[in-house]
Amino acid sequence: MENSRLETKVGIFVLIGLVLLGVMMVQFSKGTSLFRSTYQLKLHTENVGGLKQKSAVLLAGVPVGSVQQIQLSPDGKIVTVLLKIYRDYPVYTNATFAIESAGFLGDQFVSITPATNTLAMAASAKFADGAEVDCQKPFNLQQVAQDAAGFIHRIDETAGKLDASVTDLRAKVLNAETLANFGTSITNLKIFTEEALGAVKHINSIVATNSMQVSLAVSNAVLFSEGLTRLSVSAQALLDSNGATISVATKNLAATTETFKKIAGDLQAGKGLAGTVLQNPELATNFQVLAANLAVTSSNLNRLGLWGILWSHNPPMYTNTVSANRPRSTTRQ
């Protein structure tokens, strides 16, 4: 009887110790306390990386809960993470959620970053129990390594193409013939430079030898330019002082030109004596005959004189320039 009571007491003591041990393990582990009130948040993300159940939830670096459950959607595109948050730590709706890792290869946890703006925090509301929140996917080191490997591979391909291009360039451009032509060009350039230097020295010697003549020519050019300047100043002064007279002369010249144009038009139209003569061939011929007779008469006057012509028994014969329809001049009786 006493043995059975002792066994019962020992069993109760062991049970109480196991319960206390379990409570202590839960209290000091990553899980939530059994005696603290919590509320639930549902995070939606595309990938959780290595996040596990019982992982910690940190609000501004302080543990405020744990990961209760991780669920994958039927289509495999969305992962839902259930969080248990202590009610002592409210989370506002302007906070951001992300899955991070402790160190480079440490355990992953859910990080909650509150808004730094106090006014925004005051204006925002708190998450209710069961609220759904979007979460940023974690940093994928393997994906980064794969991207870096692909980038390095592309760099290797680019380096190979660049090396092939350089090889082709050396084969097509930097061959023996091209290098020989380049050497010849350098030699010709050297010869041309030496000849140019010789020509410059020769020009310098000519200038040095004829410095007086060059100086005189420059002085003459300067004097000539000064003379042209004075001439232009004088011409400008002349135009300024006689501008009205030149304007009147120009107008008179224009009027004279118009008068000549009018006379020429009248002549062309047959107006006046000159126009009639020009337009009538018979009158023009008679005027020609009259002019010829006047010329002969003046020649005889100059040669014989007036008394010689009057008392001459043989009167001077006029040139036969009279028209057929005009009677010849009668001799003196």
Provide the CA 113 distance to its chain's centre, in angstroms.
47
* pLDDT tops 50 at residue 330: no
> What angle in degrees, to the nearest 10, is found between the helix axes of 211-241 and 176-209?
70
| Residue 332 in this model has a pLDDT that exceeds 60 | no
Rounded to whole angstroms, what are the CA distances from 210 to 222, 259, 262, 271?
18, 62, 64, 73
Structure confidence by residue, pLDDT tens digits, 292-324: 888 888 877 777 766 666 665 555 554 444 444
d(CA 43, CA 51): 13
CA distance linking residue 12 with residue 5, whole number of Å: 11
Q: Report yes or no on whether pTM surpasses 0.85.
A: no
In tens, the pLDDT along 242-294 reads 888 888 888 888 888 888 888 877 777 767 666 676 667 777 787 778 888 88
Partners of 40 in the β-ladder = 84
* Summary mean pLDDT of the chain: 78
Structure confidence by residue, pLDDT tens digits, 116-155: 765 555 556 888 888 888 888 776 666 666 777 778 888 8
Q: In Å, what is the CA distance from 119 to each residue of 68, 116, 122, 125? A: 32, 9, 5, 12
pLDDT band at 12 (very low <50, low <70, confident <90, very high): confident
